[in-house]
């Protein structure tokens, strides 16, 4: 089972996120019981990851690359803990937990806006690829920009 924080430390873990995207589930994203469908959560994680990268902007040493769009999710693990519902204001939190040579591991949390109640969590491994055939290493500028945003070494 996916556990991204020690029991009882949920609030501390949530405070470690420096980025969140507001969403409101659409009716078409719900199932017959009115819950957000399990198939939709990965869309929320991806939207948050793209906005996370877009909010940082590109590093100076990578002028031809668009940081947000050169990454492919290669492993996604999601744990749903409580249901979400149509038109409910939610926050999709995103942070980089670790940075590899050409990969990153993201952690996500889904909470109601204004609440620390965690509805779902995810860990996603992404790989940077400029040409779909081989992994592309992070540039020193990208590494520095990501570490500065996260406020810790990566």
User: How confident is the prediction for the chain on average, in pLDDT?
Assistant: 92
Half-sphere exposure of 153 (CA within 13 A, CB side): 0
How many C-alpha atoms does 144 have within 13 Å on its Cβ side? 8
- Order of strands, sheet of 120-128, starting from the edge strand that comes earlier in the sequence: 19-23, 90-99, 103-112, 120-128, 71-80
Predicted confidence at residue 68, as pLDDT, reads 61
What does the pLDDT read at residue 61?
82
| Domains in the chain, CATH or no CATH each | 10-150 (3.10.129.10)
Share of the chain above pLDDT 70, in %: 93
Q: Convert the pLDDT of each residue in 71-80 to its tens digit.
A: 889 999 999 9
Task: Dump pLDDT digits (tens) for 91-113.
Answer: 999 999 999 999 999 999 999 99
pLDDT at 67 over 80: no
Q: In sequence order, which ranges of 16-123 are alpha helices (DSSP H)? A: 41-56
Cα distance between residue 65 and residue 59, in whole Å: 9
């Amino acid at each position: 089972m996916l556990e991204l924080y020690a029991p009882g430390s949920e609030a501390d873990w949530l405070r470690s996120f420096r980025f969140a995207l507001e969403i409101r589930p659409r009716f078409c994203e719900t199932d017959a019981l009115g819950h957000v469908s399990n198939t939709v959560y990965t869309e929320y994680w991806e939207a948050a990851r793209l906005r996370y990268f877009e909010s940082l902007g590109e590093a100076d040493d990578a002028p031809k690359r668009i940081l947000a769009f050169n990454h492919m999710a290669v492993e996604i693990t999601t744990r749903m803990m409580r249901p979400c519902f149509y038109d409910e204001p939610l926050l999709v939190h995103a942070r980089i937990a670790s940075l590899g040579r050409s990969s990153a591991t993201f952690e996500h949390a889904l909470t109601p806006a204004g609440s620390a109640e965690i509805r779902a969590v995810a860990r996603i491994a992404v790989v940077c690829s400029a040409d779909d055939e081989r992994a592309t290493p992070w540039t020193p500028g990208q590494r520095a920009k990501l570490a500065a945003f996260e406020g810790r070494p990566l």
